Each structure stands twice: as structure tokens, then as C-alpha cells.
Structure 1
Amino acid sequence: MSEEIQELNAKITSLDEQVAATRNDLLEFRAQAQQTLNIITDQLGELVAYINRGGNDKKGEVVSSSRPQPPPDDQNRDSGIAGGGGDTDRSIVERLLIADRQKQRERSRGHSSGSYKRRRY
């Protein structure tokens, strides 16, 4: 009988260790997920600010964003978040700039062809 109790106690101890390890893994996962969410939220905010700045710059309006832009020498530095996110941010902005330039070229081609007529509603 005491041998069965010892076996049960060993199983309970093993299960307790597994539960503790699972809880620890869950806490680490939650922390990582929150950090990733914060990074994505910041990047989305920067993209929205960039898009809004671009649209307003074309209209000749000046808009101050909620986040001040870093000085030019700091803009290309890695933020240190997620081990190299700065390079990713730069590539996203570069792709947006290239796409914006391409759209502007397409618009200017359409305007100069004489076939463009503005609709007024």
C-alpha cells in the first residue's frame, strides 16, 4: 500500500513540475506576444503617419504628427527592438517611397497624354 502511495506521490510531483514548466512557458509567450504587439503597433502608427504626411505634403499643408521625427542622423539607426527591426522599418519605408514615386509617374503620364479629363461631382 505504501508503495502505491509513493508511486502516486511521484506522479503528482512530476505533474506539478510539468504544470510549473507550462506556466513558465505561457508567461514567456505572453511577454513575447505583448512585445511583438507593441512593435507592430508602433510600426503601424509610423506607417499611418507617413501616409498622412505624404498626402498632406502633396496638398501643400503642414501637419505635425503626434510623434516627433528623430534627427536625420538617428533615423537610420536600429531601434534595438526585436533584434534588427530598424532594417525592416527602412525596407518598409523604402518600398512605400518607391511605390509612391511609381504612382506619381503613372499619374503624370496620364495627365500629359491629353486623354485625362477631370470629373467634377
Structure 2
Amino acid sequence: MDFHISRISQVPRSEVKIKGSRDAFIQWLVTSDHGAHYAVRKFTLLPHGRIGMHVHKYQETVVITKGKCAVCVGDQVYELHEGDFIFINGGVKHGFQNKDEHLEFFCIIDYTDDMSITLLEDDCP
């Protein structure tokens, strides 16, 4: 495929299935199905929604476009706001906790030979 045009509102949204997650939704905007070597995903978290702690082999960059959240990375917690971004290397545990308002962010990942996600018992405060 040489190119692909769509509207975010037309891309199916599904619930995030990572253990410890709640009120978190994902849309896969650009994927290998389009011929890309990376994926672009949009996440939406409702107020107090969360994505549980997990780890995976692939790298990701998260760009906050609406709201604010706590991002747990390794053993640290950082607060990110609209306009902030974070790069998380493969093999680094992380999770997201939304604050009081609607949260939206884009997440760009690379495709690795192992795309599995390991769920962790750790909690993101």
C-alpha cells in the first residue's frame, strides 16, 4: 500500500485488555496491515482510568494530546500534561494512571520479533 487516509473517528475502538486496566480504550490507526514498519495507536482513558503495569520488547513513544496523567516508569512516577511526551525503551516496566479529566494520547511503537505483553502485579499509584 502506498498510502492510507482515514478519520480517527472511523477507526474501531476497543477496550485495553492489560491486567489492572480500566476505562481505557485503544484505536490502531497505522499498522503493518498498511505496510508500515511501526504502529500508531490512539489511547483514550476516562477520568480515573488506568493502564496496568506491564512490560514488552518493543519501544514506544507516548504523546499526550489532552489531559494529564501519572506515568509509572521503572520505579519512578512522572506527571505528564498535554503537550508532553515520553520515550520508553523495550524491557522497561510502565503503566498509566489518568487524573480527573478525559485523557488522550498517541503511542508510536516499533514492530519487534516478539510483540507479547507481560502483565505485572506492580501498581501505578
**Structure 1 and Structure 2 fold alike (TM over 0.5):** no
Higher share of residues assigned strand: 2
The two structures have a TM-score, normalised by structure 1, of 0.18
